[in-house]
Amino acid sequence: MTRRRMINALASAGEFGDYEDAAVLPADTDPQVYLSRNRLPQPFHLLCEKDTVLSALSGSAYVHLRDSSVLRFRMEIGDHVYVPAGTPHRIVPVEEGVTLRYLSRNPGRHGAAWYCAACDAEVHRYEWQHDNDTPPVQQYVAACARFTSDEAARTCPKCATVHPGIDLAAYNWPAPATV
Ligand SMILES: [Zn+2]
């Protein structure tokens, strides 16, 4: 990564929304770097088929992991958090900050999952094939919109607690293409 590109990424970081994961390097760069400016808790756990690394350019956050020997990292400026392939993880900002995500140029399938606040079981997940031509945030907003509009999907299969929908208006996201 060239210094100039990183400075450009920092300078324009204010334009990015929560968990936007906007690609900031040329399309053939491997690994690709994705940039978000996070203010609110990530409204789902993300699953990546391949390893991913998170890094804080500013601010600080907790990274919550599942199915992992370490369940929570505190991420400060300059820290890198390695997330093994397939590990559900969720960013919860302590203070607003810019987060980088490193992903393979061919990262495979991704998914969004929700877990029950009452019994901790997985409530639901949606998966999709990562497509370098589709901004990841479009997949996130589609998954969140589907989840929010489907009460059966939000009902815990183990204890029947209904998971609340997601207030999509609170996130600086594009409108969902399909619900
Ligand atoms: Zn439950």
Distance 3 CA to ligand 1 centre (A): 47
> Is a pLDDT exceeding 70 seen at residue 178?
no
- pLDDT per residue over 123-172, tens digit each? 999 999 999 899 999 999 999 999 999 999 999 999 999 999 999 889 87
Say what the pTM is: 0.91
Beta bridge partners of 80: 55
- pLDDT per residue over 154-167, tens digit each? 999 999 999 999 99
The CATH number of domain 9-171, selected from 3.40.50.300, 1.10.287.990, 3.10.20.740, 2.60.120.10: 2.60.120.10
Predicted pLDDT of residue 179:
45
Those residues whose C-beta lies under 8 Å from the C-beta of residue 11, and which sit 6 or more positions away, are none
Q: Residue 63, exposed/middle/buried by CB under 10 A (0-12, 13-18, 19+)?
A: buried
- Size (the chain), residues: 179
Largest CA distance in the chain: 52
Distance 154 CA to ligand 1 centre (A): 10
In the numeric block, which tokens belong to residue 43? 């409204």
Distance 156 CA to ligand 1 centre (A): 5
In the numeric block, which tokens belong to residue 59? 């601010």
Distance 136 CA to ligand 1 centre (A): 28
Beta bridge partners of 54: 81, 101
Distance 125 CA to ligand 1 centre (A): 14
Residues with CB under 5 A from ligand 1 (ion): 116, 118-119, 121, 156, 158-159, 161
pLDDT-derived band at 17, boundaries 50, 70, 90? confident
Alpha carbons within 13 angstroms on the beta-carbon side of residue 50 total 12
Average pLDDT of the chain is 91
Distance 115 CA to ligand 1 centre (A): 8
Q: How many CB atoms lie within 10 A of CB 88?
A: 22
Of residues 88, 83, 24, 94, the one with CA closest to residue 58: 94
- pLDDT per residue over 54-108, tens digit each? 999 999 999 999 999 889 999 999 999 999 999 999 999 999 999 999 999 999 9
Q: Residue 72, exposed/middle/buried by CB under 10 A (0-12, 13-18, 19+)?
A: exposed
Distance 145 CA to ligand 1 centre (A): 21
Predicted pLDDT of residue 175:
81
